[in-house]
Amino acid sequence: MNVPYFFYGSLRDPDVLSAVLGRSLEGLTFAPGQLQAFRAERALAYSFPLLVPTHGAVAEGLVTTGLSGEDVARIAYFEDSDYVRAIQMVEVADSLVPAHVFMAAERLESSGETWDFGRFQTHDKALLLAVTRHVMQDHYGRTPQSEMERLWAGIRDRFAAMMDCPPRPKARHAVANESF
């Protein structure tokens, strides 16, 4: 049996997940899930989330099954080295199941603010979707992930200017990539 994935951030959005996978979501199954003792918080100076261990908190998300090896490779490329894959026990329909979860690497810091999926969809999704489509179509399989980390912010800024989006805030510490 393949271990499912738990998505707590932008990959919960079907349009974003489809853009990352480069295909429709046909064949995948989704179930609401909860990761106990974690809170999704906005990464410092970015619009994407990270999980912060927090007693009594719950991170909401989707448990996804049916991903192929190619799907997983594409997701890992999208998440880049800002995140590492780990197995966590996720609650699904009153049962605990092991699931892969992308946890923030040490170089990312929390802003201390709760990450809001609805706010993401309203304020940040359009830009992320445009950038993700470009990156996955033009760079996946061609540009090494280590180089993509260097290029991502410039691509994001170019699309933000074309879409007349506000500039992103500056981080207190340099972070190589903004994957939203």
* Ordered per-residue pLDDT tens for the chain, 180 residues: 588 999 999 999 999 999 999 999 999 999 999 999 999 999 988 888 999 999 999 999 999 999 999 999 999 999 988 899 999 999 999 899 999 999 998 888 999 999 999 999 999 999 999 999 999 999 999 999 889 878 888 898 888 888 876 655 544 333 434 444
The residues, ordered by sequence, that sit 6+ positions from 31 with a Cβ below 8 Å of its Cβ are 62, 63, 92, 93
Answer yes or no: is 124 within a domain: yes
Q: What's the CA dihedral at 81, 47, 120, 49 to 10 degrees?
A: 50
Answer yes or no: is 168 within a domain: no
pLDDT, residue 1, reads 52
Please give the tally of structural domains in the chain.
1
Give 74-106 pLDDT, tens digit per residue: 999 999 888 999 999 999 998 999 999 999 988
pLDDT, residue 3, reads 87
Q: Classify residue 12 by its DSSP letter.
A: G
pLDDT, residue 8, reads 97
Answer yes or no: is 27 within a domain: yes
**CA distance linking residue 40 with residue 16, whole number of Å:** 18
CATH classification of the domain holding 145 = 3.10.490.10
- Coil, strand, or helix at residue 155? helix
Answer yes or no: is 141 within a domain: yes
Answer yes or no: is 179 within a domain: no
Domain residue limits at 90 = 5-162
Answer yes or no: is 59 within a domain: yes
pLDDT, residue 162, reads 87
pLDDT, residue 166, reads 60
Helix 125-138 vs helix 145-162: crossing angle, to nearest 10: 130
Answer yes or no: is 95 within a domain: yes
- Coil, strand, or helix at residue 50? strand
